[in-house]
Amino acid sequence: MRAIVDSRGLALPGRLKVSSIALQAGQLTCLIGPNGSGKTSLLHALAGIGNPLGEVRIDGIDPKVLAPKQRMRLLSYLPASREIRWPLTARDLVALGCVGSEDKARIPRLLDELDLASFAGRRIDQMSTGERSRVLIARALVSSPTLLLLDEPAANLDPLWQLRLMDHLQRLARDQGKALLVAVHDLELARHHADRLIIMEGGAIAADGNPAELLAGPDILRVFGIERREDRWIPVA
């Protein structure tokens, strides 16, 4: 499997120190960890946010040397915040993620896939949080980047859309050869959709490997203080 992303020595002062991480083409990697463990910091560092130290190469290219539109072809970042108050329509907000005409032609299909077509002309500041989340996800996907960095994309979505979204992201990775790094809190979403699981703790990678094995192993108990018994997660004193 080809490595799309290769990074070394990533650090954000006081928040993150990761010696190296590689992300593979065709693979959906889920990122889990307690609050404050460094998930968002790792996504920021890979996206070049906050002046991180270290090196990041996407298809062998340093994204920091590229113009903004060229960088949008390489990577797209979805932040955890959904607080958008711009008086733009859903369609116009998605179009902000476009680089060229082929991206604009992709907008109707994305709106349809994310069940947004019926209110594409509605203003974003008049939508529910869940609807706004799907619009922002469409904006992140519209440029068809090589690397997708998504911070809690399933947050604020109802159970049906959590599953539909993760299915969609899984297909993007496998059918189009994208590399996806997705921060989630729901361990069951990670169990059923991730090809690879990374557990963060204290700003570093505590474990990295097969989702089923890691979720059944000792790292979950050590990091989260929970374990799975009889098909449910329970706290362990």
Q: What is the mean pLDDT of each run of 10 residues along the chain (237 residues)?
A: 86 84 96 96 93 92 91 95 86 95 95 94 92 95 97 95 96 96 97 97 96 96 93 88
Backbone angles phi, psi at 147, to 5 degrees: -120, 130
In a domain, residue 119? The reply is no
CB atoms within 10 A of CB 102: 11
Is 152 in a helix, a strand, or coil? coil
In a domain, residue 115? The reply is no
Q: What is the CA radius of gyration of the chain?
A: 18
DSSP 8-state secondary structure symbol assigned to residue 10: E
In a domain, residue 125? The reply is no
**Among candidates 27, 24, 32, which has minimal Cα distance to 3?**
24
How many domains is the chain partitioned into structurally?
1
In a domain, residue 110? The reply is no
pLDDT at position 231 is 85
In a domain, residue 172? The reply is yes
In a domain, residue 90? The reply is no
pLDDT at position 81 is 87
Strand partners of residue 30: 182, 197
pLDDT at position 230 is 85
- Provide the whole-model pTM: 0.95
pLDDT at position 1 is 61
CATH of the domain at 50: 3.40.50.300
d(CA 126, CA 48): 31
Q: How many CA atoms, within 13 angstroms, populate the side-chain half-sphere of residue 58?
A: 23
Report how far apart, in Å, the C-alpha atoms of 24 and of each of 30, 41, 43, 209 are: 12, 20, 16, 13
In a domain, residue 189? The reply is yes
Cα dihedral 128, 131, 136, 139 sign = negative
Domain limits at 205?
3-82+145-235
d(CA 196, CA 163): 18
CB atoms within 10 A of CB 147: 22
In a domain, residue 20? The reply is yes
User: Token pair for residue 185?
Assistant: 């809190």
